[in-house]
Structure 1
Amino acid sequence: MLGIPLGLLIENAGEWLIHRYVLHGQGKRPDSIWAYHWHEHHRVCQENGMLDHGYQGWPLRWNTQGKEALFLLVVVLGHIPLLMCVPGYVAGMYVGLACYYIRHRKSHLDPDWARRKLPWHYQHHMAQNSEANWCVAWPWFDRVMGSRHEYPISSEEQLPIINKSLSMHG
């Protein structure tokens, strides 16, 4: 029975690691395959108060949502060989990936919902410091790694868009 919680935990750790070191680390280089995250997704969210229209419709386009869905599909396919050996772990991983995708997509289509239900992710995009709050679905690993930074957000206001590091987008 430890497999399912282990799969959920490892998915959250992977989410944290990939977001921090790949999407923000490599993604800040304009020539990187991961550049779409920083140079498209973050810019669009900053300009539109967290809303990213790239998440509308099916993820069958070569945009932020499509690239994210393709990466998640690769992770899903990579875990198929483990199904027979550790089915609980794989089930936990798949549930974690599904929760990640559903919650991430919804947060960028409904910023008010994100502000209330995923404040850590809303703050990642809309607070002064986007180099924190790496987790999307649950902030577990942000808490473990000390990268969960809370910023006050009232229900009537949006955090000011003052992330100067995004000004390099031109």
Structure 2
Amino acid sequence: MWKGFLAGLVVANGFEWVAHKYILHGTHRAGKPRYSPVPDSMKSHWEHHREVRKTDFHDQGYVEGISNWRTKNEIISLAVVAGVFGTAFYPVSKGMSLAVLYCAGNYYYIHRRAHLEPEWAMKRIPWHYDHHMNSNQDANWCVTKPWFDYILGTRVISAPELQEANPLGIALPQVLSDSLNWAVSRIRPAKWVEKKAERLENAAA
């Protein structure tokens, strides 16, 4: 049961990465608009991006609740994903099925709270704050935990204060965080935003 649940957490984080990148943001096409297999979700998500860029990460849609079409779309989408994958995994592993349901609910809780409490988001899920407020919004695809951003090399940090304590994004004893950071930095280090001033300084050197 617990092995299946833990495996489900990893699978769900990978799904976060894929869905965020390919469904919510859509893929670039030369000379054409981005393509998403679920265009309404992509439209909703880009409106969400425009909103939080104008309001320092806050999204009024979460205050309005299901009367806001973007919030309603997110809840329905999560319910569909949880229903489909929870049912599909159940014959294989009840733990994985349970993890799917947990992750869908946790995703909504984390995402909603983050955009209602930006200061909390900066401290607890800085990778998602970077996703919206960084100069590059096509990076940092994970929301609840940054696991697959590290695995796939898409964690891009904009400032030291927005670097999580460790790549797992969970509270660990300092010695464990330091060891994990050292190991990951040798295998799959996070990228950093190159500052304009640094580029100019290097060009002048």
Q: What's the TM-score, normalizing by structure 2?
A: 0.68
Equivalent of 1:64 in 58, 66, 70: 70
Note if 1:121 corresponds to 2:128. yes
Please say which structure displays the higher CA radius of gyration: 2
Deviation string, structure 1 residues 3-24 (Cα, Å, up to 9, x no partner) = 0011111111111001001111
The structure whose RCO (Cα within 8 Å, separation 6+) is larger is 1
Q: Any stretches of 5+ residues in structure 2 without a counterpart?
A: 163-205
Q: Which residue of 2 aligns with 1:24?
A: 25
Q: In structure 2, how many angstroms separate the alpha carbons of the residues matched to 1:150 and 1:30?
A: 27
Q: Which residue of 2 aligns with 1:166?
A: none
Paired letter, 2:78: L
How much is the aligned-residue C-alpha RMSD, in angstroms?
Answer: 2.2
Q: Sort the Cα spacing of 1:10 and 1:154 in 2 relative to 1 into closer, same or farther, 3 A.
A: closer
Q: Which residue of 1 aligns with 2:43?
A: 35
Q: Sort the Cα spacing of 1:12 and 1:25 in 2 relative to 1 into closer, same or farther, 3 A.
A: same
Note if 1:44 corresponds to 2:45. no
- If each structure's strand is expressed as a fraction of its own residues, which one has the higher value? 2
Q: Which residue of 2 aligns with 1:165?
A: none
SS in structure 1 opposite 2:154?
Answer: coil
Q: In structure 2, how many angstroms separate the alpha carbons of the residues matched to 1:136 and 1:82?
A: 22
Q: Which residue of 2 aligns with 1:76?
A: 82
Q: What's the TM-score, normalizing by structure 1?
A: 0.81
SS in structure 1 opposite 2:131?
Answer: helix
Q: In structure 1, how many angstroms separate the alpha carbons of the residues matched to 2:151 and 2:113?
A: 25
Q: Sort the Cα spacing of 1:56 and 1:95 in 2 relative to 1 into closer, same or farther, 3 A.
A: same
Contact 2:4 2:95 in 1 (8 A): yes
Identity %: 35
Deviation string, structure 1 residues 65-89 (Cα, Å, up to 9, x no partner) = 1111100000122123543542101
Contact 2:79 2:104 in 1 (8 A): no
Q: Any stretches of 5+ residues in structure 1 without a counterpart?
A: 156-170
Size of the alignment, in residue pairs? 153
Paired letter, 1:118: I
Q: Which residue of 1 aligns with 2:154?
A: 147
Q: In structure 1, how many angstroms separate the alpha carbons of the residues matched to 2:14 and 2:99?
A: 13
Q: Sort the Cα spacing of 1:57 and 1:36 in 2 relative to 1 into closer, same or farther, 3 A.
A: closer
